[in-house]
Amino acid sequence: MGKSVENFEQEFAAYCGVSHCIGVANGLDALILILEAYKQLGHLADGDEILVPSNTYIASILAISKARLSPILVEPDDATFLLNPKACEAAITPRTKGILPVHLYGQLCDMKAIGGLAARHDLLVIEDSAQSHGAIQGDKRSGALGHASGFSFYPGKNLGALGDGGAITTSDDDLATAVRALRNYGSHKKYENLYKGINSRLDELQAAFLSVKLKDLDADNARRRAVAAEYNARIRNPAIILPQSITPNAHVWHLYVVRCSERNRLQHYLAEHSIQTVIHYPIPPHHQQAYSEWANISYPISEQMHAEVLSLPISPVMTSAEVESVIDAVNSFS
């Protein structure tokens, strides 16, 4: 927690358009610490319900469980993969205290609708921005679209360190003060401990790397958009459903996720053509052994997505020839 962390925190807060950025060890800790801080401030209590999409990466849900809150899974919008505000509204109970929208695959959720819903029901909005660094909705960036936001800087992210890292962004002064203490053994002042905190520091070296890489984030996202635009325009295969992007700036294409009813055969076919693909994610959270209490609940939209999704290669360093070979291979699949 030296000068490089402090510099990066200031730069990233300014980039996101918020008053505070607090560096932490990883994205999961970022979400846990936000929720813990809200508990310390008296805004949340053990067992309160937090709405979260049923098709997210498990870390979003683990954070809620780790903070001893109750994750309530909400089915996503079938076309965009994103949290569905109408389904959220239907899931609200007197115990609901927050919504955790996940900007999955790099596309921002409809934060206007979610913000309106939260205001009407007096709910906290905690963004999971682990996949959406730099995405813009209206005139605000990911990280400034809720009450607080958690970021991951895992190396594969749009803004990635050279090892693990994470951050919390917020314009709530009280929350920022509580999170700063909680990430540092619960201490505001050396050897004085206000909370039972943890050690979750952003490493000084990683912060220095992040400051360098932040300068390239917008250009990297522009290149990702250009690759996605090529795929959108030129992948023509009736067996494949292309991803939907609502407004161009709201998507930073962390992943380019297509759907195919014969997903496993498609993945095998592309591998034979030297194209590596990944499934994000093969098992829905409610079918994970860690959440065996949900084993008998059905989330059909999420289940179908998990059976059909496949992430094609996308990155700011892809060459035009590489993009071309992906398009040719996908179009030749039958």
Ligand X SMILES: Cc1ncc(COP(=O)(O)O)c(C=O)c1O
C-beta separation of 62 from 56 below 8 A: no
170 binds ligand X (CB under 6 A): no
Q: Where are the beta strands (DSSP E) in the chain?
A: 20-24, 49-53, 70-74, 96-99, 124-128, 136-137, 140-141, 148-152, 166-170, 187-189, 192-193, 256-259, 309-312
Residue 252: both structure tokens together:
């930073």
Closer to ligand X at the Cβ: 143 or 166? Answer: 166
CA–CA gap between residue 252 and residue 231 (Å, rounded)? 14
Find the helix or strand (DSSP H, E) in which 40 lies: helix 27-40
181 binds ligand X (CB under 6 A): no
Least distance from C-beta 226 to ligand X, angstroms?
A: 23
166 binds ligand X (CB under 6 A): yes
Closer to ligand X at the Cβ: 182 or 323? Answer: 182
Least distance from C-beta 140 to ligand X, angstroms?
A: 19
Q: Which of 88, 94, 90, 78 is nearest to 111 (CA)?
A: 88
C-beta separation of 196 from 225 below 8 A: no
Stretch that binds ligand X, among 20-28, 136-144, 234-242, 288-296 (CB under 6 A): 20-28
Least distance from C-beta 241 to ligand X, angstroms?
A: 22
Least distance from C-beta 27 to ligand X, angstroms?
A: 2
146 binds ligand X (CB under 6 A): no
231 binds ligand X (CB under 6 A): no
40 binds ligand X (CB under 6 A): no
Q: What angle do CA 145, 252, 61 make, to 5 degrees?
A: 60
Stretch that binds ligand X, among 88-96, 113-121, 125-133, 195-203 (CB under 6 A): 125-133
Residues that bind ligand X (CB under 6 A): 26-28, 56-57, 59-60, 102, 128, 130-131, 152, 154, 164, 166
